[in-house]
A and B are shown apart, each in its own frame.
Chain A
Amino acid sequence: MADRHPRLKELKFTLYRIFRNPSALIGFCLLLMFGIIAVAAPYIAPPKYPRSPYVMPHKGFSPTPRPPSRQNLMGTTSGQYDIFYGVVWGTRTAFKIGFVVVGIAALVGITLGLVAGYFGSLADEIIMRAVDVAFAVPLLVLTMAIIVAFGRGLENVMFALALVEWRVYVRVMRSGILALRDMDYVQAAKVMGVSHVRIMLRHLLPNGIYPVLVIATMDIGSMVITAAFMSFLGLGAPKGYADWGQMVALARNYIIGPPGDPLKYWYTIAFPGLCIILFVLAWNLIGDALRDAFDPKIRRG
């Protein structure tokens, strides 16, 4: 019986469509790998200070990085921080950033988008004009301005990003709802006296959520990029925090080695850099596959 439910059937079909796509499979595998690393971080790289596991352990303060050895699997970066430890725990940081920022932004955005799209008129006008204004200033600039206002730190970066990014979800959600609002089944529900909240949650949200899901998936990647850049600039995670962007910042002065051996310190940037790229790639691949799977135009030719 459950198998017959149209929504479940659609979901099954969607999943089938997603996994037929090889790039989605790659993305999923990558994500699975990162997920396992994040969950198993305490076992893969036991923290030296169990109370603050996100602080990278370091032996000595020498600014010159050391190449990979048995002790430091991926070498040490400037300040003798262990790169391997940073990469492993940085996975957790990345997931944290992605989920928290996109979670908050999407929640706020979806709610406002639903309200604006469903009720229209004044609510719509007020919300959408606010979104218009919010859209006028680019992500990076507005984020920086908010960080400057509230101070540095990873939490503030996340807060600032969420404060900027909700605008995207409002627009996407609203346009989806507008298309659904005049559908017969919604009108029928209205005529039957179903409450507004129930119509929004039961009829509009499940049908209008797909484009939001696609955007959210891809957004996790770009939020991680932006947060990494903030950390790179020194606005986000403090020095020594297990964050990929921060590690790239540590590597910055060593990307070009001494004359004659220009790539001597390759490991300082290669490992955290690769992690960022692969993490973002994984989300983008999945997002791309989701878009294809949800797009009714491509879905069934």
Chain B
Amino acid sequence: MLVFVLLGVSVLIFAILMTFSPERRAMTYVETPQQVKDIPQIIKQHGLDDPAHVQYFRWLKQISTGNWGWSFVAADTVWNAFWRYLPITLELNLFTTPLIIIIGIWLGTQAGIHKDTWLDHLTRIFAIIGWSLPTFLFALIMLMLFYGYFPLFPPGIIGDKVQMFILENPDKFHSYTGMYTIDGLLNGRLDITLDALRHLAMPVFTQVVVVVALLMRVMRSSMIEEISKEYVITARAKGADNKTIYFRHARKNALIPVVTVAGWLVAFSMEGSVSVEIIFNRRGIGWWLAQSAIALDIPVLMGMCLFFGLVYVVTNLVIDILYAAIDPRIRLT
């Protein structure tokens, strides 16, 4: 099933790709700047005038060997640039994902338990506003307030001083993961970690506010549904107190449908990184993707489609595993 989805995505991308002229498509086969001049030769060499199905399988082979073409936005091959940009996005999502899940589930549970109280209404308002906020606009407003008005949280990935220090002392700071918060700790430089965290605060906040709203609402309605189920009365008739009913009985059941949504949202928040990275000037996957779209850098967009398809497939796999872990009725086969 998942392999099928990936194959389907590749067909989809190829279909989009085929709408381009052979000249533009030739760009996907370029690996160095010099080759850009030899486009006609590349067309001939790679048979870009061949029938579609022949080209498709050839292209698939190409992709699977890691040759994803040349990105002139990154001035590198797509493959290399991808691994260069990935840690920045990964770092952002490393902070947002747990926050979204924890806050969303916690607030949703509370709202579901205290249905129709002020807390429920407050979270409802928060959810609707949060959901109506375009990420890029909210990010701009955050930047305006917390960088312009209160110069607390600057945009970017890391401060100039730290950047200079790293550039000047390449031997003292070794990049293990490409994520400054973690590298700072690994190098024993707490100041670098703190500086990176300072730059991360606003992007993380923006993304969490926008994404958490939906998860919260889903958790709430799931919780309300579970609380009205028969087995809750059974537990009550056994003499269970509210805490036991809500947290031991209802919540775990309520989580079952939420797992799917949470998985989607985590994948979605990867996508949400595009606006956040553009506004806060964090040069990660999202930033690269947007810049490539602006510059019509085709190979990057095609590669990203495939990458996000992969994220989708992996997310679904994780969801399935989580399902089996929570729900004893489902057995992994």
| Chain A residues in the interface with B (C-beta under 8 A) | 23, 129-130, 132-142, 144-150, 221, 225, 228-229, 232-235, 248, 252, 255-257, 262-263, 266, 269, 273, 276-277, 280-281, 284-285, 288, 297
Contact = CB atoms under 8 A, between A and B. Distances in A.
B308 A144 contact: no
Given A23-B128, A136-B8, A148-B293, A269 B140 contact: yes
A263 B149 contact: yes
Contacts of A276: 134, 137
B137 A255 contact: no
13 contacts: A133-B5, A133-B12, A134-B12, A138-B270, A140-B271, A141-B274, A149-B20, A248-B137, A256-B147, A263-B144, A276-B137, A280-B132, A281-B128
B30 to A, nearest CB: 17
B9 A133 contact: yes
Contacts, number: 130
B164 interface: no
Interface of B: 4-6, 8-9, 11-13, 16, 19-20, 124, 128-129, 131-137, 140-141, 143-144, 147-149, 225, 267-268, 270-271, 274-275, 278, 289-290, 292-294, 296-298, 301-302, 304-305, 308-309, 312-313
Nearest to B125: A23
Contact of A140 (B144, B148, B274): B274
A148 B134 CA distance: 22
Contacts of B268: 138
Nearest to B228: A297
Contact of B308 (A136, A149, A273): A136
A218 to B, nearest CB: 8
Contact of A148 (B140, B267, B298): B298
Nearest to B316: A136
A233 B275 CA distance: 9
B262 to A, nearest CB: 16
Nearest to B6: A136
Given A229-B134, A281-B128, A235 B294 contact: yes
Given A136-B5, A144-B293, A284 B301 contact: no
A204 to B, nearest CB: 25
B287 to A, nearest CB: 11
B45 to A, nearest CB: 24
A141 B134 contact: no
B317 to A, nearest CB: 13
A255 B144 CA distance: 6
Contacts of A139: 271
B137 A277 contact: yes
B182 to A, nearest CB: 26
B11 A138 contact: no
B20 A256 contact: no
A269 B289 CA distance: 25
B132 A221 contact: yes
Contacts of A134: 12
Contact of B275 (A148, A229, A280): A229
Nearest to B147: A256
Given A136-B9, A235-B293, A285-B128, A148 B144 contact: no
B140 A252 contact: yes
Given A141-B289, A269-B140, A133 B8 contact: yes
Given A233-B290, A277-B137, A129 B144 contact: no
A284 B132 contact: yes
Counting chain B CB atoms within 10 Å of each CB, the highest count among A23, A140, A147, A281 belongs to A140
B140 A137 contact: no
Contacts of A147: 293
A141 B149 contact: no
